[in-house]
Protein backbone atom coordinates (compact mmCIF):
# COMPACT_ATOMS: atom_id res chain seq x y z
CA UNK A 1 0.00 0.00 0.00
CA UNK A 2 1.36 3.43 -0.96
CA UNK A 3 1.84 6.17 1.62
CA UNK A 4 -0.99 8.13 -0.01
CA UNK A 5 -3.36 5.15 0.08
CA UNK A 6 -2.50 4.46 3.73
CA UNK A 7 -3.11 8.10 4.65
CA UNK A 8 -6.47 8.05 2.87
CA UNK A 9 -7.43 4.79 4.59
CA UNK A 10 -6.59 6.19 8.02
CA UNK A 11 -8.44 9.44 7.33
CA UNK A 12 -11.53 7.48 6.29
CA UNK A 13 -11.34 5.36 9.44
CA UNK A 14 -10.96 8.43 11.65
CA UNK A 15 -14.00 9.99 9.95
CA UNK A 16 -16.09 6.87 10.68
CA UNK A 17 -14.95 6.75 14.32
CA UNK A 18 -14.56 10.35 15.55
CA UNK A 19 -15.41 9.23 19.09
CA UNK A 20 -12.28 7.07 19.56
CA UNK A 21 -9.87 8.41 22.18
CA UNK A 22 -7.39 5.55 22.43
CA UNK A 23 -6.22 2.51 20.48
CA UNK A 24 -5.08 -0.69 22.14
CA UNK A 25 -2.26 -2.34 20.17
CA UNK A 26 -2.15 -6.07 20.82
CA UNK A 27 0.49 -8.70 20.12
CA UNK A 28 -0.63 -12.30 20.65
CA UNK A 29 2.18 -14.12 22.46
CA UNK A 30 3.02 -17.85 22.41
CA UNK A 31 0.41 -18.54 25.09
CA UNK A 32 -2.31 -16.70 23.19
CA UNK A 33 -2.29 -13.79 25.64
CA UNK A 34 -2.74 -10.26 24.30
CA UNK A 35 0.15 -7.99 25.25
CA UNK A 36 0.99 -4.53 24.01
CA UNK A 37 0.31 -0.85 24.53
CA UNK A 38 -2.52 1.65 24.61
CA UNK A 39 -1.87 4.86 22.69
CA UNK A 40 -3.89 8.04 22.67
CA UNK A 41 -5.53 8.82 19.37
CA UNK A 42 -3.23 11.80 18.88
CA UNK A 43 -0.24 9.44 18.68
CA UNK A 44 -1.91 6.74 16.61
CA UNK A 45 -1.17 8.15 13.16
CA UNK A 46 2.55 7.53 13.68
CA UNK A 47 1.95 3.91 14.74
CA UNK A 48 -0.42 3.30 11.84
CA UNK A 49 2.15 4.41 9.29
CA UNK A 50 5.44 3.46 10.90
CA UNK A 51 4.67 0.55 13.23
CA UNK A 52 5.45 0.06 16.91
CA UNK A 53 8.75 -1.15 18.46
CA UNK A 54 8.25 -4.08 20.82
CA UNK A 55 10.88 -5.89 22.91
CA UNK A 56 11.92 -9.27 21.57
CA UNK A 57 11.16 -10.83 24.97
CA UNK A 58 7.42 -10.26 24.45
CA UNK A 59 7.45 -13.28 22.13
CA UNK A 60 8.79 -15.58 24.87
CA UNK A 61 6.89 -14.67 28.03
CA UNK A 62 5.51 -17.25 30.42
CA UNK A 63 1.79 -17.39 31.19
CA UNK A 64 2.36 -15.16 34.24
CA UNK A 65 4.30 -12.60 32.20
CA UNK A 66 7.86 -13.48 33.18
CA UNK A 67 10.88 -13.98 30.95
CA UNK A 68 11.89 -17.49 29.85
CA UNK A 69 15.53 -18.30 30.37
CA UNK A 70 16.98 -20.13 27.41
CA UNK A 71 14.61 -18.67 24.84
CA UNK A 72 17.40 -16.65 23.22
CA UNK A 73 15.14 -13.60 23.12
CA UNK A 74 16.05 -11.85 26.37
CA UNK A 75 19.64 -11.28 27.55
CA UNK A 76 21.26 -12.98 24.57
CA UNK A 77 19.99 -10.22 22.24
CA UNK A 78 19.90 -7.42 24.81
CA UNK A 79 16.10 -7.61 24.75
CA UNK A 80 16.32 -5.62 21.54
CA UNK A 81 13.27 -4.04 19.94
CA UNK A 82 11.73 -5.39 16.77
CA UNK A 83 9.27 -3.49 14.64
CA UNK A 84 5.66 -4.67 14.81
CA UNK A 85 2.96 -3.53 12.40
CA UNK A 86 -0.81 -3.50 12.42
CA UNK A 87 -2.49 -6.61 11.04
CA UNK A 88 -4.71 -5.48 8.15
CA UNK A 89 -8.41 -5.61 8.89
CA UNK A 90 -8.06 -5.68 12.68
CA UNK A 91 -8.37 -1.95 13.45
CA UNK A 92 -11.80 -2.20 15.04
CA UNK A 93 -13.89 -0.53 17.76
CA UNK A 94 -13.90 -1.90 21.33
CA UNK A 95 -17.51 -1.14 22.32
CA UNK A 96 -17.29 -2.85 25.72
CA UNK A 97 -14.78 -0.32 27.12
CA UNK A 98 -15.96 2.76 29.01
CA UNK A 99 -13.48 5.03 27.22
CA UNK A 100 -14.30 5.19 23.49
CA UNK A 101 -11.61 2.89 22.14
CA UNK A 102 -10.39 0.86 19.21
CA UNK A 103 -7.96 -2.03 18.99
CA UNK A 104 -5.65 -3.57 16.42
CA UNK A 105 -3.61 -6.75 16.33
CA UNK A 106 0.14 -6.51 15.85
CA UNK A 107 2.61 -8.84 14.20
CA UNK A 108 6.36 -8.48 13.81
CA UNK A 109 7.50 -7.07 10.47
CA UNK A 110 9.30 -9.93 8.66
CA UNK A 111 12.00 -7.53 7.43
CA UNK A 112 12.47 -5.48 10.59
CA UNK A 113 11.07 -7.58 13.43
CA UNK A 114 14.41 -8.92 14.54
CA UNK A 115 14.90 -12.27 16.29
CA UNK A 116 11.34 -12.36 17.68
CA UNK A 117 9.86 -12.72 14.20
CA UNK A 118 10.38 -16.48 14.00
CA UNK A 119 8.60 -16.88 17.36
CA UNK A 120 5.59 -14.80 16.28
CA UNK A 121 2.59 -17.19 16.38
CA UNK A 122 0.83 -15.41 13.53
CA UNK A 123 3.84 -15.90 11.26
CA UNK A 124 3.87 -19.57 12.25
CA UNK A 125 0.27 -19.94 11.04
CA UNK A 126 1.04 -18.02 7.85
CA UNK A 127 3.93 -20.39 7.06
CA UNK A 128 1.70 -23.44 7.57
CA UNK A 129 -0.93 -21.95 5.25
CA UNK A 130 1.78 -21.27 2.66
CA UNK A 131 2.91 -24.90 2.95
CA UNK A 132 -0.50 -26.07 1.77
CA UNK A 133 -0.55 -23.41 -0.94
CA UNK A 134 2.60 -25.02 -2.36
CA UNK A 135 0.46 -28.13 -2.95
CA UNK A 136 -2.26 -26.06 -4.61
CA UNK A 137 -4.65 -25.99 -1.64
CA UNK A 138 -6.28 -23.15 0.28
CA UNK A 139 -7.31 -24.14 3.81
CA UNK A 140 -10.85 -23.27 4.84
CA UNK A 141 -11.03 -22.93 8.60
CA UNK A 142 -13.58 -22.39 11.36
CA UNK A 143 -12.96 -22.10 15.09
CA UNK A 144 -15.39 -23.35 17.71
CA UNK A 145 -14.79 -22.14 21.27
CA UNK A 146 -16.09 -23.38 24.62
CA UNK A 147 -15.86 -21.21 27.73
CA UNK A 148 -17.34 -20.85 31.20
CA UNK A 149 -19.12 -17.85 32.68
CA UNK A 150 -18.43 -17.34 36.38
CA UNK A 151 -19.51 -14.75 38.89
CA UNK A 152 -16.85 -12.03 38.84
CA UNK A 153 -16.22 -11.88 42.61
CA UNK A 154 -13.94 -14.94 42.57
CA UNK A 155 -11.50 -14.81 45.52
CA UNK A 156 -10.07 -18.32 45.55
CA UNK A 157 -11.45 -21.84 45.76
CA UNK A 158 -13.81 -23.12 43.09
CA UNK A 159 -15.41 -20.20 41.24
CA UNK A 160 -19.20 -19.93 41.16
CA UNK A 161 -20.72 -20.55 37.76
CA UNK A 162 -23.25 -18.12 36.32
CA UNK A 163 -26.18 -20.48 35.83
CA UNK A 164 -29.86 -20.32 36.81
CA UNK A 165 -30.09 -23.98 37.86
CA UNK A 166 -27.14 -24.57 40.14
CA UNK A 167 -24.33 -26.99 39.40
CA UNK A 168 -26.35 -29.52 37.42
CA UNK A 169 -25.60 -29.96 33.71
CA UNK A 170 -28.14 -28.65 31.25
CA UNK A 171 -26.62 -29.17 27.83
CA UNK A 172 -28.54 -27.28 25.14
CA UNK A 173 -30.56 -25.76 27.99
CA UNK A 174 -32.81 -22.95 26.80
CA UNK A 175 -33.10 -21.43 30.27
CA UNK A 176 -29.31 -21.12 30.44
CA UNK A 177 -29.34 -19.14 27.20
CA UNK A 178 -32.22 -16.99 28.41
CA UNK A 179 -30.52 -16.31 31.76
CA UNK A 180 -27.50 -14.86 29.96
CA UNK A 181 -29.45 -13.26 27.12
CA UNK A 182 -28.25 -9.77 28.03
CA UNK A 183 -24.63 -10.91 27.87
CA UNK A 184 -25.17 -12.87 24.64
CA UNK A 185 -27.07 -10.03 22.97
CA UNK A 186 -24.29 -7.61 23.88
CA UNK A 187 -21.67 -10.09 22.67
CA UNK A 188 -23.40 -10.50 19.31
CA UNK A 189 -23.74 -6.73 18.99
CA UNK A 190 -20.06 -6.13 19.72
CA UNK A 191 -19.00 -8.92 17.38
CA UNK A 192 -21.21 -7.50 14.61
CA UNK A 193 -19.48 -4.13 15.03
CA UNK A 194 -16.14 -5.93 14.64
CA UNK A 195 -17.26 -8.02 11.67
CA UNK A 196 -16.83 -11.30 13.57
CA UNK A 197 -19.03 -13.97 11.96
CA UNK A 198 -20.76 -15.73 14.84
CA UNK A 199 -22.86 -18.65 13.62
CA UNK A 200 -24.54 -19.85 16.79
CA UNK A 201 -24.25 -20.08 20.56
CA UNK A 202 -25.50 -22.79 22.88
CA UNK A 203 -25.39 -23.93 26.47
CA UNK A 204 -22.81 -26.70 26.80
CA UNK A 205 -22.74 -29.65 29.19
CA UNK A 206 -21.07 -27.87 32.09
CA UNK A 207 -23.10 -25.49 34.27
CA UNK A 208 -22.42 -21.97 33.05
CA UNK A 209 -20.53 -23.34 30.04
CA UNK A 210 -21.21 -22.02 26.54
CA UNK A 211 -20.11 -22.82 23.01
CA UNK A 212 -19.89 -20.35 20.15
CA UNK A 213 -18.96 -21.19 16.57
CA UNK A 214 -17.41 -18.78 14.09
CA UNK A 215 -18.18 -19.17 10.39
CA UNK A 216 -15.85 -21.01 8.00
CA UNK A 217 -13.43 -18.69 6.19
CA UNK A 218 -11.47 -19.42 3.03
CA UNK A 219 -8.87 -16.96 4.37
CA UNK A 220 -7.53 -19.13 7.19
CA UNK A 221 -5.31 -16.41 8.64
CA UNK A 222 -8.29 -14.08 8.83
CA UNK A 223 -10.28 -16.84 10.56
CA UNK A 224 -7.54 -17.11 13.20
CA UNK A 225 -7.38 -13.32 13.64
CA UNK A 226 -11.13 -13.38 14.19
CA UNK A 227 -10.81 -16.18 16.75
CA UNK A 228 -8.29 -14.10 18.73
CA UNK A 229 -10.54 -11.03 18.52
CA UNK A 230 -13.58 -13.07 19.53
CA UNK A 231 -11.92 -14.41 22.67
CA UNK A 232 -11.03 -10.87 23.67
CA UNK A 233 -14.58 -9.69 23.00
CA UNK A 234 -16.06 -12.47 25.16
CA UNK A 235 -13.86 -11.56 28.11
CA UNK A 236 -14.46 -7.82 27.70
CA UNK A 237 -18.25 -8.07 27.35
CA UNK A 238 -18.40 -10.47 30.30
CA UNK A 239 -16.60 -7.96 32.53
CA UNK A 240 -19.10 -5.29 31.55
CA UNK A 241 -21.90 -7.62 32.74
CA UNK A 242 -20.24 -8.42 36.05
CA UNK A 243 -19.05 -11.83 34.88
CA UNK A 244 -15.74 -13.65 34.43
CA UNK A 245 -15.40 -15.47 31.12
CA UNK A 246 -12.70 -18.14 31.32
CA UNK A 247 -11.14 -20.17 28.52
CA UNK A 248 -9.23 -22.27 31.06
CA UNK A 249 -9.26 -25.89 29.86
CA UNK A 250 -10.47 -27.47 33.12
CA UNK A 251 -11.69 -24.88 35.63
CA UNK A 252 -13.91 -27.27 37.63
CA UNK A 253 -12.66 -30.67 38.76
CA UNK A 254 -15.95 -32.56 38.52
CA UNK A 255 -17.31 -30.81 35.44
CA UNK A 256 -16.47 -30.98 31.72
CA UNK A 257 -13.48 -29.09 30.39
CA UNK A 258 -13.56 -26.54 27.59
CA UNK A 259 -12.18 -27.22 24.13
CA UNK A 260 -11.32 -25.36 20.96
CA UNK A 261 -12.36 -27.39 17.94
CA UNK A 262 -10.87 -26.59 14.55
CA UNK A 263 -12.88 -27.36 11.42
CA UNK A 264 -10.79 -27.83 8.27
CA UNK A 265 -11.38 -28.38 4.59
CA UNK A 266 -9.25 -27.54 1.55
CA UNK A 267 -10.20 -25.67 -1.61
CA UNK A 268 -8.55 -26.07 -4.98
CA UNK A 269 -7.57 -23.19 -7.29
CA UNK A 270 -11.18 -22.89 -8.47
CA UNK A 271 -12.55 -22.62 -4.93
CA UNK A 272 -13.97 -26.16 -4.84
CA UNK A 273 -13.76 -28.26 -1.69
CA UNK A 274 -11.36 -31.09 -2.54
CA UNK A 275 -12.77 -33.11 0.39
CA UNK A 276 -16.28 -33.01 -1.12
CA UNK A 277 -17.68 -36.54 -1.34
CA UNK A 278 -20.98 -38.37 -1.21
CA UNK A 279 -19.21 -40.89 1.01
CA UNK A 280 -19.80 -39.84 4.66
CA UNK A 281 -16.31 -41.14 5.41
CA UNK A 282 -14.74 -38.72 2.95
CA UNK A 283 -12.58 -39.25 -0.11
CA UNK A 284 -8.93 -40.24 -0.42
CA UNK A 285 -7.61 -36.68 -0.04
CA UNK A 286 -9.57 -36.15 3.16
CA UNK A 287 -8.30 -39.42 4.59
CA UNK A 288 -4.69 -38.61 3.64
CA UNK A 289 -4.94 -35.26 5.45
CA UNK A 290 -6.66 -36.88 8.40
CA UNK A 291 -3.99 -39.59 8.60
CA UNK A 292 -1.25 -36.99 8.74
CA UNK A 293 -3.01 -35.14 11.51
CA UNK A 294 -3.41 -38.39 13.45
CA UNK A 295 0.19 -39.55 12.90
CA UNK A 296 1.69 -36.28 14.15
CA UNK A 297 -0.74 -35.51 16.99
CA UNK A 298 1.13 -37.29 19.83
CA UNK A 299 4.35 -35.35 19.23
CA UNK A 300 2.47 -32.04 18.76
CA UNK A 301 0.33 -32.45 21.87
CA UNK A 302 2.08 -29.65 23.79
CA UNK A 303 0.84 -27.20 21.13
CA UNK A 304 -2.75 -28.40 21.54
CA UNK A 305 -2.62 -28.62 25.35
CA UNK A 306 0.03 -26.08 26.43
CA UNK A 307 -0.43 -25.86 30.22
CA UNK A 308 -0.47 -28.09 33.30
CA UNK A 309 -4.22 -27.58 33.69
CA UNK A 310 -4.76 -28.62 30.05
CA UNK A 311 -4.20 -32.28 30.90
CA UNK A 312 -6.91 -32.39 33.56
CA UNK A 313 -9.39 -32.28 30.69
CA UNK A 314 -8.29 -35.61 29.20
CA UNK A 315 -10.36 -38.33 30.84
CA UNK A 316 -12.59 -41.09 29.48
CA UNK A 317 -16.19 -40.30 28.64
CA UNK A 318 -15.76 -36.53 28.70
CA UNK A 319 -16.05 -36.11 24.90
CA UNK A 320 -12.30 -35.55 24.89
CA UNK A 321 -10.06 -37.88 22.84
CA UNK A 322 -7.36 -40.00 24.43
CA UNK A 323 -5.89 -41.36 21.19
CA UNK A 324 -5.48 -39.82 17.72
CA UNK A 325 -8.47 -41.79 16.46
CA UNK A 326 -10.93 -40.87 13.73
CA UNK A 327 -14.54 -41.59 12.92
CA UNK A 328 -17.64 -40.47 11.11
CA UNK A 329 -20.20 -38.46 13.09
CA UNK A 330 -18.60 -39.70 16.31
CA UNK A 331 -17.73 -37.45 19.28
CA UNK A 332 -15.57 -40.02 21.04
CA UNK A 333 -12.69 -39.61 18.56
CA UNK A 334 -9.98 -37.02 18.03
CA UNK A 335 -10.69 -36.39 14.35
CA UNK A 336 -14.36 -36.37 13.46
CA UNK A 337 -15.95 -36.17 10.04
CA UNK A 338 -19.24 -34.42 10.75
CA UNK A 339 -22.39 -35.39 8.91
CA UNK A 340 -23.66 -33.02 6.25
CA UNK A 341 -23.94 -32.38 2.54
CA UNK A 342 -21.21 -33.71 0.27
CA UNK A 343 -19.97 -30.21 -0.55
CA UNK A 344 -19.46 -29.43 3.15
CA UNK A 345 -17.31 -32.48 3.92
CA UNK A 346 -14.54 -31.52 6.36
CA UNK A 347 -12.50 -32.63 9.38
CA UNK A 348 -13.22 -31.52 12.94
CA UNK A 349 -10.06 -31.57 15.08
CA UNK A 350 -11.24 -32.12 18.68
CA UNK A 351 -7.99 -32.32 20.66
CA UNK A 352 -7.22 -28.70 21.58
CA UNK A 353 -8.22 -27.16 24.87
CA UNK A 354 -9.84 -23.73 24.94
CA UNK A 355 -6.53 -22.55 26.41
CA UNK A 356 -4.60 -23.26 23.19
CA UNK A 357 -3.28 -20.42 21.06
CA UNK A 358 -5.36 -20.65 17.85
CA UNK A 359 -2.46 -19.55 15.62
CA UNK A 360 -0.16 -22.21 17.06
CA UNK A 361 -2.76 -24.99 17.20
CA UNK A 362 -3.94 -24.33 13.64
CA UNK A 363 -0.35 -24.28 12.34
CA UNK A 364 0.21 -27.71 13.88
CA UNK A 365 -3.04 -29.08 12.44
CA UNK A 366 -2.28 -27.72 8.96
CA UNK A 367 1.28 -29.06 9.07
CA UNK A 368 -0.06 -32.49 9.99
CA UNK A 369 -2.57 -32.39 7.15
CA UNK A 370 0.16 -31.43 4.69
CA UNK A 371 2.32 -34.31 5.92
CA UNK A 372 -0.50 -36.75 5.24
CA UNK A 373 -1.16 -35.37 1.78
CA UNK A 374 2.49 -35.36 0.72
CA UNK A 375 3.02 -38.95 1.84
CA UNK A 376 -0.48 -40.24 0.92
CA UNK A 377 -0.91 -41.69 4.40
CA UNK A 378 -3.71 -44.10 5.27
CA UNK A 379 -5.53 -43.55 8.58
CA UNK A 380 -6.80 -47.12 8.79
CA UNK A 381 -10.42 -47.98 9.52
CA UNK A 382 -12.62 -45.49 11.38
CA UNK A 383 -13.71 -46.01 14.95
CA UNK A 384 -17.31 -47.07 15.22
CA UNK A 385 -19.24 -46.63 18.43
CA UNK A 386 -17.40 -46.15 21.72
CA UNK A 387 -13.96 -44.75 20.95
CA UNK A 388 -12.93 -45.05 24.59
CA UNK A 389 -13.38 -48.82 24.44
CA UNK A 390 -10.93 -49.15 21.54
CA UNK A 391 -7.45 -50.51 22.22
CA UNK A 392 -4.21 -50.16 20.31
CA UNK A 393 -2.57 -47.22 18.63
CA UNK A 394 -0.31 -44.54 20.04
CA UNK A 395 -2.03 -42.70 22.92
CA UNK A 396 -1.91 -38.95 23.26
CA UNK A 397 0.41 -37.80 26.07
CA UNK A 398 -1.58 -37.48 29.30
CA UNK A 399 0.95 -35.44 31.27
CA UNK A 400 2.43 -32.00 30.62
CA UNK A 401 6.19 -32.76 30.94
CA UNK A 402 5.76 -35.84 28.74
CA UNK A 403 4.13 -33.72 26.02
CA UNK A 404 6.80 -31.01 26.26
CA UNK A 405 9.64 -33.48 25.82
CA UNK A 406 7.84 -35.28 22.98
CA UNK A 407 7.64 -31.97 21.14
CA UNK A 408 11.27 -31.14 21.91
CA UNK A 409 12.35 -34.47 20.40
CA UNK A 410 10.10 -34.26 17.34
CA UNK A 411 12.00 -34.04 14.06
CA UNK A 412 8.70 -33.48 12.27
CA UNK A 413 7.80 -30.47 14.44
CA UNK A 414 11.18 -28.87 13.87
CA UNK A 415 11.06 -29.39 10.11
CA UNK A 416 7.41 -28.42 9.65
CA UNK A 417 7.13 -25.55 12.15
CA UNK A 418 10.69 -24.28 12.33
CA UNK A 419 13.63 -25.05 14.58
CA UNK A 420 13.66 -21.58 16.10
CA UNK A 421 9.96 -21.54 16.94
CA UNK A 422 10.12 -24.94 18.61
CA UNK A 423 13.20 -23.95 20.65
CA UNK A 424 11.48 -20.81 21.96
CA UNK A 425 8.22 -22.63 22.69
CA UNK A 426 10.05 -25.40 24.57
CA UNK A 427 12.04 -22.85 26.58
CA UNK A 428 8.81 -21.15 27.67
CA UNK A 429 7.11 -24.44 28.57
CA UNK A 430 10.09 -25.84 30.47
CA UNK A 431 10.31 -22.62 32.46
CA UNK A 432 6.59 -22.79 33.29
CA UNK A 433 6.79 -26.48 34.14
CA UNK A 434 9.77 -26.06 36.47
CA UNK A 435 8.02 -23.23 38.32
CA UNK A 436 4.74 -25.16 38.48
CA UNK A 437 6.29 -28.22 40.08
CA UNK A 438 8.35 -26.06 42.46
CA UNK A 439 5.13 -25.01 44.20
CA UNK A 440 3.57 -26.98 47.06
CA UNK A 441 -0.21 -26.98 46.47
CA UNK A 442 -2.91 -27.39 49.11
CA UNK A 443 -3.51 -30.97 48.00
CA UNK A 444 0.00 -31.95 49.10
CA UNK A 445 -0.82 -30.79 52.62
CA UNK A 446 -4.22 -32.48 52.54
CA UNK A 447 -2.76 -35.83 51.46
CA UNK A 448 0.67 -35.96 53.05
CA UNK A 449 1.23 -33.55 55.95
CA UNK A 450 -0.49 -35.65 58.65
CA UNK A 451 -0.12 -38.99 56.90
CA UNK A 452 3.58 -39.35 56.17
Q: Within this chain, do residues 104 and 199 fall inside the same structural domain, yes or no?
A: no
Q: Which residues of 158-171 are buried (b: 16+ CB within 10 A; e: fewer)?
A: ebebbbeeeeebbe
112 and 132 both lie in a single domain: no
Q: pLDDT tens track of the chain, all 452 residues?
A: 567 778 888 888 999 999 999 999 999 999 999 999 999 999 999 999 999 999 999 999 999 999 988 898 988 888 899 999 999 999 999 999 999 999 999 999 999 999 999 999 999 999 999 999 999 999 999 999 999 998 887 776 677 777 766 555 566 567 777 778 889 999 999 999 999 999 887 777 778 888 999 999 999 999 999 999 999 999 999 999 999 999 999 998 888 999 999 999 999 999 999 999 999 999 999 999 999 999 999 999 999 999 999 999 999 888 899 999 999 999 999 999 999 999 999 999 999 999 999 999 999 999 999 999 999 999 999 999 988 887 667 899 999 999 999 999 999 999 999 999 999 999 999 999 999 999 999 999 999 999 99
Statement to judge: residues 250 and 354 lie in one domain: yes
CATH of the domain at 353: 3.30.590.10
Rounded to whole angstroms, how far apart are CA atoms 216 and 379? Answer: 25
CATH number for the domain harbouring residue 58: 3.10.20.70
User: Are residues 206 and 323 located together in one domain of the fold?
Assistant: yes
What distance in Å separates the CA atoms of residue 200 and residue 353, rounded to the nearest whole number? 20
Position 312 in a domain:
yes
Say whether both 114 and 150 belong to one domain.
Answer: no
Total domains in the fold of the chain: 2
| 277 domain-assigned | yes
Examine the domain organization and report whether 170 and 237 are in the same domain: yes
**Could you tell me if 392 and 326 lie in one domain?**
yes
- What is the DSSP secondary structure assignment for residue 198, as one 8-state letter? E
Element (H, E) at 83: strand 81-86
Residue 422 CB: number of other CB atoms within 10 A? 21
Q: What is the pLDDT, as a whole number, of residue 130?
A: 98
- Is 160 domain-assigned? yes
CA atoms within 13 A on the CB side of 450: 3
User: What is d(CA 324, CA 394) in angstroms, rounded to the nearest whole number?
Assistant: 7
Report pLDDT for 169. Answer: 58
Paired strand residues for 40: 22
Range of 325's domain? Answer: 128-404
| Cα–Cα distance for residue pair 101/91, rounded to 1 Å | 10
DSSP-assigned beta bridge partners for residue 90:
none
Residue 179: per-residue pLDDT: 77
153 lies in a domain? yes
pLDDT at residue 167, as a whole number? 58
This prediction has a pTM of 0.95
Per the domain annotation, does 233 fall within a domain? yes
Domain final residue, candidates 101, 119, 137: 119
Same domain, 60 and 196: no
Q: Please indicate, yes or no, whether residues 45 and 134 belong to a single structural domain of this protein.
A: no
**Does residue 228 share a domain with residue 260?**
yes
Look at residue 258 and tell me if it is in a domain: yes
Residue 430 inside a domain? The answer is no
Q: Which of 96, 119, 142 is the last residue of a domain?
A: 119
> 451 in a domain, yes or no?
no
Q: Is there a single domain that holds both residue 114 and residue 256?
A: no
The contacts of residue 395 (CB under 8 Å, 6+ apart) are: 298, 322, 323
For residue 319, the model assigns a pLDDT of 84
Same domain membership, residue 258 and residue 307: yes
Q: Pick the last residue of a domain from 119, 153, 178.
A: 119
Amino acid sequence: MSTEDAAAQLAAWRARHPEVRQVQLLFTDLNGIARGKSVRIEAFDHVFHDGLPLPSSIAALTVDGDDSEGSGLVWEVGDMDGLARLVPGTLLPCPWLATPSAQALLSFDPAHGGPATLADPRHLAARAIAGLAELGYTPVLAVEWEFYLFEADYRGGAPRTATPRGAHPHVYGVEEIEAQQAFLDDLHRCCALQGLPLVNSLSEFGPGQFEVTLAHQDDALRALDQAVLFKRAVRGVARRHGLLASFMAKPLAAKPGSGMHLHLSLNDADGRNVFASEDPGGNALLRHALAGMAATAPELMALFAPFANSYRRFAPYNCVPLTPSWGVNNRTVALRIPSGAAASRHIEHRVCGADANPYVAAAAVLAGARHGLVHALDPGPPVEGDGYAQTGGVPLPRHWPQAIEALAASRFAREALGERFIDVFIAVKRTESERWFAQVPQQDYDWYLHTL
